[in-house]
Chains A and B, each alone.
Chain A
Amino acid sequence: MPSVLYKLQILADAAKYDASCASSGAKRSGNCKGVGHTTGTGICHSYTPDGRCISLLKILLTNFCIYDCQYCVNRISSGTPRARFSIQEVVDLTLAFYKRNYIEGLFLSSGIIRSPDYTMEQLIGVARVLREEHFFGGYIHLKCVPGASPELQIRAGRYADRVSTNIELPTETDLKRLAPQKSIQDIHSAMSVIRQGIDVSQDRSYSGKSPPRFAPGGQSTQMIVGATPNSDAEVLQTADRLYKTYRLKRVYYSAFSPIPHGDARLPLSEPPLLREHRLYQADWLIRLYGFDVSELVNASFPDLDLRIDPKLAWALRHRDQFPIDLNRAPRELLLRVPGLGIRNVDRLIQIRRWKKIRLEDLSRLRCPLRKVRPWVVTADYNSEVFRLDRSDLIRRIVCPQQQLELFDTGSCGSGSPLTRS
């Protein structure tokens, strides 16, 4: 019998390509029968040198798999060492880690063994034992296996705080080519079953009683970028469609790993993680800043500019919409100013009810002045705003040093790379 330690090594290693680590979005108060509660905001208990956080025990139940997805290290044709946990082993590990305050909970996924239904039943088994036998109140994220029956997806949602079904690749053609056993219909229908489950659980309209919990942390998905030659426009359009159709909480972008193809648009020496980072930034702009996908990427600009963040890139293409008067402009416009994040926009709106905003207010809020100044009008004299039409504007905003730093920003993919820009 291989030891738990050995299995853990293999099954954590196999799970690390999933970018999600979030433990947020669900609130559950402690119970007096078992350990665990969730606070709603998530806690990152540790960080690895890849900058990602460890919030959940992220493992596969097994990395045996009958499918042959080309981008995946666990596909049947790969020579990777295999292991399989028993349900009890995963339960014990989760509780032991949780009691020592290493983790917020469990993120359990699996290779497909026998059939999607059988696999899904195993995953649900772990969640059931944790919840019903140990009264575990911590966070549980279960992977939904596409093709498993809707009843099983629903049962998963009852136990889990979050469920996710990976879309895997940006287009159906890619999926057909690289993951021939998977079908886009199965993936979509899993997402739609979960969405209905969540909708029902949030609906208090006619019975007055609150319905049973169902994945209160919402559903998410992951898309691999860089394995296929898609443009950022295709990636973001797919993400946008998923957000709208299935009301996903998050789309995670995962630069094809372990060794991503060198992006043709970049010299080989530069890290491919940059594209992933830009996609996350664009994703934030779409979800929270009121940008439409087509404003960021479209037929004339199918890919995000890797050198600068997407908001700055948009602003440089739309200089006629600037400068923006910080003392008058509505919130939607303030959100479009490069260098102004949501928090600072809201602070400025609060401040300007009582006094005029001047440049010094921006520096007190620690806004990156160099980046913001060219785009805004304040109550005092701002000479930079007269340079809006100059062709060297970008060089005045982004100094070479800053460009280097860009390769090392944002943490755990789910962090908020845009909070300060």
Chain B
Amino acid sequence: MFSLRMPLSFDSWRESARVLLARGVPPEQIVWIDSNQDALFEDLSDFPGQTRFGLRISRFFIQRARLVACHRSDDRWALLYRLAFRLTHDDPHLMQLRTDPDVRRFELMGASVSRDRHKMTAFVRFRRSSIDGVDWYVAWYRPDHFVVRLAADHFRDRYSIMNWSILTPDESVHWDGQQLRFTEGIPTPLKTEKDEVESLWRTYYRSIFNPARIKTSAMRREMPVRFWDHLPEADLIHGLLKEAPSRTRQMIRHSERTDL
């Protein structure tokens, strides 16, 4: 039994997996432990196998595996290795069997990571503040998975002329107009001052809502309640729903609609 204790990133996993696969080490014999300690790679020379070279694995798998590696579940490295092993030793077409339990889980994990990355690009809310007289846009956000690095380029491309920081519990990212920098996480929201634009935004949110059409399940599905904390508009929802019936009745009463 091997246990791999190291700071796991996709690249470090890939490095180790390459060696293990070449040796033909079966998935059941490896425990992957994500740890901040230095890499501890047990000596493989006792493993009684021959090293095989030139193992090939599909590009599709590697691309998706990068996403799956950002999933928060502990078994992701084991799942990736199991799939990589099956792909190289059993069935090169495995990824096409989309109802195979491993493949299915791989697909679902990848989908939730990419959804989470997308949600991050949607729900980050910057507040403008000033650092040494320079505008700096700061947001605190809590993603479900480890998606800060996946989403960073998006924010860089979009806000290239601004200075900004996105702080999350896992890791923070900053842009100063020149380069992206990653620093350690910030566990709780910062106490920043309200941005005056927020009241305009809240007014917009209130006005664009049509009280005659209530569909809260669609709202909750697309904008899960766990994200509401840091959305400046979310605390309006309760009140809007409460007054919706009376606003609708009023609209009927005041309806100037001539009969059509």
Contacts and interface: CB of A to CB of B under 8 A. Distances in A.
Interface in B195-236: 195, 197-201, 203-219, 221-223, 231, 233
Given A51-B216, A93-B200, A365-B99, A259 B251 contact: yes
A39 B243 CA distance: 37
Contacts of A410: 218
Contacts of B241: 49
Interface stretch (B14-22, B25-33, B154-162): B154-162
Contact of B248 (A39, A258, A273): A258
A64 to B, nearest CB: 16
Given A32-B161, A408-B218, A351 B200 contact: no
B260 A227 contact: yes
Contacts of A355: 97
A8 B219 contact: no
- Which among B126, B199, B214, B244 has the greatest number of chain A C-beta atoms within 10 A? B214
Interface stretch (A95-103, A291-299, A301-309, A316-324): A95-103
Interface in B123-151: 123-128, 137, 139
A9 B122 contact: no
B191 to A, nearest CB: 18
Nearest to A13: B207
Q: Which of B121, B213, B219 has the most CB of A within 10 A?
A: B213
A50 B260 contact: no
Contact of B258 (A37, A45, A70): A70
B72 interface: no
Given A35-B161, A45-B123, A51-B217, A257 B212 contact: yes
B218 A350 contact: no
B125 A16 contact: no
Contacts of B118: 43
A355 B25 CA distance: 28
B227 to A, nearest CB: 10
A189 interface: no
B39 to A, nearest CB: 37
A86 B89 CA distance: 67
B240 interface: yes
How many of chain B's residues touch chain A, expressed as a range?
Answer: 35 or more
B255 A259 contact: yes
Interface string B161-186: 11000000000000000000000000
B94 to A, nearest CB: 9
B216 A58 contact: no
A16 B209 contact: yes
A102 B98 contact: no
B57 interface: no
Interface in B67-105: 93, 96-99, 101, 104
19 contacts: A9-B203, A46-B205, A48-B209, A49-B214, A50-B210, A52-B215, A97-B197, A99-B126, A101-B126, A101-B139, A259-B212, A259-B257, A351-B99, A353-B96, A354-B97, A355-B97, A361-B99, A364-B99, A415-B218
Interface of B: 93, 96-99, 101, 104, 118, 121-128, 137, 139, 154, 156-162, 195, 197-201, 203-219, 221-223, 231, 233, 237, 240-241, 244, 248, 251-252, 255-258, 260
Interface of A: 4-5, 8-10, 12-13, 15-17, 29-37, 39, 43-54, 57-58, 70-71, 77-79, 93, 96-97, 99-102, 137, 178, 227-228, 255, 257-259, 261, 273, 347, 350-351, 353-355, 360-361, 364-365, 408-412, 415
Given A100-B126, A101-B124, 9 more contacts: A5-B200, A16-B209, A96-B200, A97-B197, A137-B158, A354-B97, A365-B99, A408-B217, A412-B218
